[in-house]
Amino acid sequence: MGSAEWAGRNERFETVVVPHMKEIRRLARSLTNSGADAEDVLQEATVRLLRFIHGYRGGDSRSWVLRVARNTAISWLRTNRRRNHVGLGIPPGETPIPEWAPELEVDEREDLFAIEARRRDGEALRRAISTLTREQREIIVLRDLNGFQYTEIAAVLSIPLGTVMSRLSRARAVLQDRLQRAEESPAMMAPCLMRQSLQHPIWRA
């Protein structure tokens, strides 16, 4: 590959892929349930995206980028799942609590109690999401954390629009059930925080 062609590829990568790196990382974390594994997936997806950047033919770059990233993550999981579970001492079939959580913005005007309450809220939600299946986690992340439109999710997951809506509905119902159960366990989430989570806009969408 000549220097001009390589420069053109890098420039295209900067334009098409780089703006979506944060979303790639978030999706990778939701699929792997591990911050460390997500970084491996992110690195592999970045290499693949750079290698096949010529495959982007224009249009919705975000959907194209995340579709490649998702396929990379699934391939990585198929290769590494057994090794990861053995290395972590986790029995096959069980899901570890992920090292990620929905990002919470901190208002410097908040007092320490409010900041701690938000942190606990995020931890409880993180644990609840970790109990979902991979399909449920990824669609929750795409729609409710990344803000994808239904048509974009359909493109990323390569599924019909109707399947997107029904799968998201089921995933939200399961997650809401997990959060309601958490209300009964003080160690998971305080009742006031539980109510705040259930009042989130995703339950009214």
Residue 20 lies in a domain: yes
**171: CB partners within 8 A, 6+ apart:** 132, 135, 136, 137, 139, 140
Q: Over the range 140-162, which residues count as b (16 or more CB within 10 Å of their CB) and which as e?
A: bbbbbbbebeeebbbbbbeeeee
CB atoms within 10 A of CB 37: 23
Asked if residue 107 belongs to a domain, the reply is no
Q: Do 71 and 125 share a domain, yes or no?
A: no
Say whether both 75 and 116 belong to one domain.
Answer: no
Indicate if 27 and 74 belong to the same structural domain. Answer: yes
Rg (CA), the chain: 19
Q: Is the pLDDT of residue 169 over 60?
A: yes
Domain boundary among 37, 53, 88: 88
Is residue 100 included in any domain, yes or no? Answer: no
Look up the CATH number of the domain holding residue 143.
Answer: 1.10.10.10
> How many residues appear in the chain?
205
Residue 194's domain spans which residues? 112-203
Per the domain annotation, does 94 fall within a domain? no
Distance (Å, rounded) from C-alpha 26 to C-alpha 102? 9
Q: Tell whether 31 is covered by a domain.
A: yes
Which helix (H) or strand (E) segment is 124 a member of? helix 112-130
Torsion of CA 179, 71, 62, 9, to 10 degrees: 150
Q: Which of 133, 173, 142 is nearest to 67 (CA)?
A: 142
98 falls within a domain = no
Pair (80, 140) in one structural domain: no
pLDDT band at 184; cut points 50, 70, 90: low
Domain count, the chain: 2
Q: Does residue 104 sit within a domain?
A: no
Same domain? 193 vs 128 = yes
**Domain harbouring 13, CATH code:** 1.10.1740.10
Instruction: Give the pLDDT confidence of 112-143 residue by residue, as tens digits.
Output: 555 455 556 667 777 888 888 989 999 998 99
Regarding pTM above 0.75, the answer is no
47-99 pLDDT, tens digit per residue, is: 999 999 988 988 889 999 999 999 999 999 888 865 544 343 334 444 443 44
